């Protein structure tokens, strides 16, 4: 009896969890005001520019492909995805999961600028085992590309690209010890090697530099103190200093222990300035906040009265924008992959298709010992305060050894999947590669999986359905973590095989839709 009561309580808990309505977070209150955060998901290290009447926002994406996601807005509040500056990484075979992996490599601290009818995106790639770090510049005449990437021999950490009004081009970079490197006029090579401009032990790990010129003074904004951080501004009459400094915001009231730090600011047509600055929110990610800027004694002060704003009047007046959020659901009806998706490392394009069966995403199994090393794992951000992802999957094309399903991916990770062995299929729930629940399947060609993520407590739960209507909880909770530093948990679609004898021996699954 006690066991039955415990099971009933667990089912009630899961049923309550999965009956909640999933709705993407929006900061637009619909009354001329907005609320923070701007996007309640992992959009770290933000930088921003305005080109005419549009704003462009760029973010770090680490090892995910394509890299350097770019979002667009007309009012700084309602955003949608616009594209990516990097289509794939070809400088190391480990990006293809050959000879190792490149977790936490790729693009760090992207910077975006527009100059002389050209868009520029810069980022650094940190040193990995056997590979030195480097700096890249991507250029395009249109924001949606095509983009051309130039890889530098130099390593410019957390770069801030800056075009001066005298025609010179600079990158501010470094960690605690900051430098200025001058580039040639096309910004594709170094003209003058790095020159030290600032070093203050009182600002440990000062990084995330972004450089501006306002009223003939140079302003360098950066973050110090990491997750609990604060935003620092350096100011000088010369690009090379000397620089004086000021903490311009130190506030964690919206997420105690985690301060607002690192981001970029932009000037509007009306002359006002606004800052997009991030805040760590644990396994959900580093989320951007939108803050007004007040100039006090020549210093740009984000927020209001020393604190980040909770709600505030929208920045752009006279422009009516529909409430828009970056897309998440996908019916897979296009011949091209929707912009919300990123692969875990470079994809093997021979093992996925949107055209072999129109209206479906086909994932063909590649060999992997576990999900961590599975090629063609397709992912998108989870979201706070809660998010729910559901997938419909045709499993008739699976072969022995295939494991295909829906996961929440980071380290640790967990998933619900179909596994085929000796011609028989079963549903499994695995928590960090340990199978904790098994349900046998008989004659099913379709299966539905659901995962629910709660920001409170940072937990994820899973369920399955054999008819698409009634979902049955399975397994246990995933306690989401951050074993892969500086990147958040993600919904993941996958199909891998643990026992392939030849690369072509695996089966396939067809995903009809993914809905949030």
User: Could you tell me which of 435, 472, 467 has the C-alpha nearest to residue 450?
Assistant: 472
Residues in the chain: 516
Whether the Cβ atoms of residue 277 and residue 266 lie closer than 8 Å to each other: no
Q: How buried is residue 132: exposed, middle or buried, by Cβ count under 10 Å (0-12/13-18/19+)?
A: exposed
Check 45, 47, 231, 383 and give the catalytic one: 45
Closest CA to 173 of 222, 241, 126: 222
Cα–Cα nearest to 431, from 446, 417, 448: 417
Q: Per the structure block, which two tokens stand in for 9? A: 């309580």
Contact 303, 312 (CB under 8 A): no
Active-site hit among 207, 251, 252, 394: 207
DSSP string across 363-385: EE-EE-SSGGG-TT-EEEE--SS
For the question of residue 402 being annotated catalytic, the response is no
- What DSSP string describes 122-135? EEEE--BTTB--EE
C-alpha distance from residue 168 to each of 124, 183, 193, 361 (Å): 21, 8, 14, 47
Q: What CA–CA distance (Å, rounded) separates 125 from 63? A: 10
Does the active-site annotation cover 45? yes
Q: Which residues are catalytic?
A: 45, 207
């Amino acid at each position: 009896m006690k066991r039955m009561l415990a099971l009933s309580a667990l089912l009630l808990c899961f049923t309550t969890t999965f009956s909640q309505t999933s709705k993407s977070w929006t900061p637009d209150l619909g009354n001329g005001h907005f609320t923070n955060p701007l996007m309640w998901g992992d959009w770290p290290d933000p930088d921003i520019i305005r080109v005419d009447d549009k704003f462009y926002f760029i973010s770090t994406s680490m090892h995910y492909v394509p890299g350097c996601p770019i979002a667009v807005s007309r009012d700084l509040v309602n955003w949608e995805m616009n594209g990516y500056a990097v289509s794939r990484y070809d400088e190391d075979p480990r990006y293809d999961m050959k000879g190792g992996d490149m977790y936490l490599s790729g693009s760090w601290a992207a910077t975006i600028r527009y100059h002389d009818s050209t868009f520029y995106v810069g980022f650094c790639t940190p040193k990995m085992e056997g590979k030195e770090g480097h700096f890249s510049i991507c250029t395009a005449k249109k924001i949606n590309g095509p983009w051309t990437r130039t890889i530098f021999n130099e390593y410019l950490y957390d770069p801030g690209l800056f075009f001066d009004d005298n025609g010179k081009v600079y990158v501010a970079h470094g960690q605690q010890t900051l430098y200025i490197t001058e580039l040639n006029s096309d910004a594709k090579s170094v003209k003058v090697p790095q020159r030290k401009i600032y070093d203050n032990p009182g600002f440990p790990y000062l990084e995330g530099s972004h450089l501006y010129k306002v009223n003939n003074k140079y302003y360098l904004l950066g973050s110090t103190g990491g997750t609990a951080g604060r935003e620092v501004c350096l100011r000088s009459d010369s690009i090379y200093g000397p620089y004086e400094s000021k903490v311009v915001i130190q506030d964690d009231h919206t997420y105690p222990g985690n301060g607002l730090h690192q981001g970029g600011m932009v000037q509007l047509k009306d002359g006002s300035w606004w800052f997009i600055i991030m805040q760590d929110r644990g396994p959900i990610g580093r989320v951007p906040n939108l803050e007004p800027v007040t100039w006090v004694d020549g210093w740009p002060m984000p927020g209001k009265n020393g604190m980040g704003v909770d709600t505030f009047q929208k920045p752009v007046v006279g422009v009516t924008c529909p409430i828009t959020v970056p897309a998440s659901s996908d019916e897979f009806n296009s011949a091209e992959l929707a912009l919300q998706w990123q692969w875990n490392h470079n994809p093997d394009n021979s093992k996925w298709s949107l055209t072999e069966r129109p209206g479906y995403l086909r994932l063909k199994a590649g060999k992997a010992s576990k999900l961590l090393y599975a090629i063609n794992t397709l992912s998108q951000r989870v979201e706070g305060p809660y998010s729910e992802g559901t997938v419909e999957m045709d499993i008739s094309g699976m072969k022995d050894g295939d494991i295909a399903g829906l996961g929440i991916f980071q380290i640790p990770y967990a998933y619900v999947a179909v596994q085929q062995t000796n011609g028989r299929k079963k549903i499994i729930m695995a928590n960090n590669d340990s199978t904790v629940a098994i349900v046998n399947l008989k004659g099913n060609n379709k299966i539905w999986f659901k995962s629910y993520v709660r920001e409170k407590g940072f937990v994820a739960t899973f369920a399955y359905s054999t008819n698409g209507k009634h979902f049955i909880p399975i397994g246990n909770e995933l306690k989401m973590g951050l074993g892969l530093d500086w990147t958040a948990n993600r919904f993941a679609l996958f199909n891998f095989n643990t026992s392939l004898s030849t690369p072509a021996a695996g089966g396939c699954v067809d995903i009809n839709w993914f809905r949030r």
